Amino acid sequence: MRFLSFLRAAFPAKAACLLFLLGAVAGCSTTGTLSTVQALRPSGDPSRHAVIVVDGNNGKVLFQANADAARYPASLTKMMTLYMTFEAMDSGRLSKTTHIPVSAYAASRPPTKIGFRAGQTIDVDSAIYALVTKSANDVAVALGEQLGGSEERFAEMMTAKARQIGMRNTVFRNASGLPDDQQMTTARDMAVLGLSLRKRFPQYYRYFSARSFDFNGRTIRGHNDLLGRVQGVDGIKTGYIRASGFNIVTSVSADGRKLVVVVMGGDTARSRNAEVEQLIERYLPSASRGPVPAAAPADSMPAPAPEMALAGAPVRPEMPIE
């Protein structure tokens, strides 16, 4: 300390340089978290940005940043709507050919949507594709009303299911992700849901790989540009509200290694996707290697995801567009 004091007095410029170098060395000796965040170039405003990368084989968290901060899920909400739909199919309450009526309320939901008139119907198989690709708000509400009697009741069922599978800081208020000040989640909870969908419903998981589907004579294309472009990516769901930024939950499977990557709060879909690609490139090689999966049996019932406790603070939502 005496030497540094002397140096400051005698050679102020050299002292500043030396202190900078010492600080840089000290920073390198702490953890890799800060340098990793900087190297991966976060895609959005720090007040909205949240990331988690989880090893899909063993549930180990490989990287996280703001993973416990509360965020609006936007259309990531539809992942739970689909979870509930898959459960109903497993129990026999729904089949792929069941026709779901679209109420006047469901038909009135703002875009994105398919565009139904009140009283029209959609089969469950097409409804699933509509949620996965188009992120259709009218279809999400119709499914919620079918399964819960009302969307409000269905949202209560969604929140109860979230607790059951280990999502301890998520509250659902609707089936679609349309703005609601009380509808909150975290990046960690979304990772839990992504892991649970693959483990609990391997027989339905292929839906999340769809990039488009045909309905009533037209081809409806999806929002997830990582599918078919980034090797190993096989789903799951995008989402956007103006105040929360661009969200995504991405599943990756390659050579026995699996990841679930969640990025929330991107400034654009492109910057969000670029961040996901960087995270995959960085962490997939270090993920554990499980057996290269064969086709899963239809009655496969893996254990639910582990519980993860989280907290955070909200932002004000706007209209979702994906």
Is-catalytic flag, 199? no
Contact assessment for residue 100 and residue 85, using Cβ atoms and an 8 Å cutoff? no
Among the options 78, 134, 161, 258, which is catalytic? 78
Is-catalytic flag, 135? yes
Q: Is 170 exposed, middle or buried (0-12, 13-18, 19+ CB in 10 A)?
A: buried
Q: Is 258 annotated as a binding residue?
A: no
Q: Which of 34, 76, 63, 35 is closest to 265 using CA atoms? A: 76
Q: Which of 255, 305, 248 is closest to 284 using CA atoms? A: 255
- Radius of gyration of the chain measured on its C-alpha atoms: 22
Cα 88 to Cα 40: distance, rounded to the nearest angstrom: 40
Contact assessment for residue 63 and residue 125, using Cβ atoms and an 8 Å cutoff? no
Cα 132 to Cα 148: distance, rounded to the nearest angstrom: 20
Among the options 103, 135, 176, 244, which is catalytic? 135
**Active-site positions?**
75, 78, 135
Annotated binding residues for substrate, written as ranges, equal: 237
Annotated binding residues, written as ranges, equal: 237
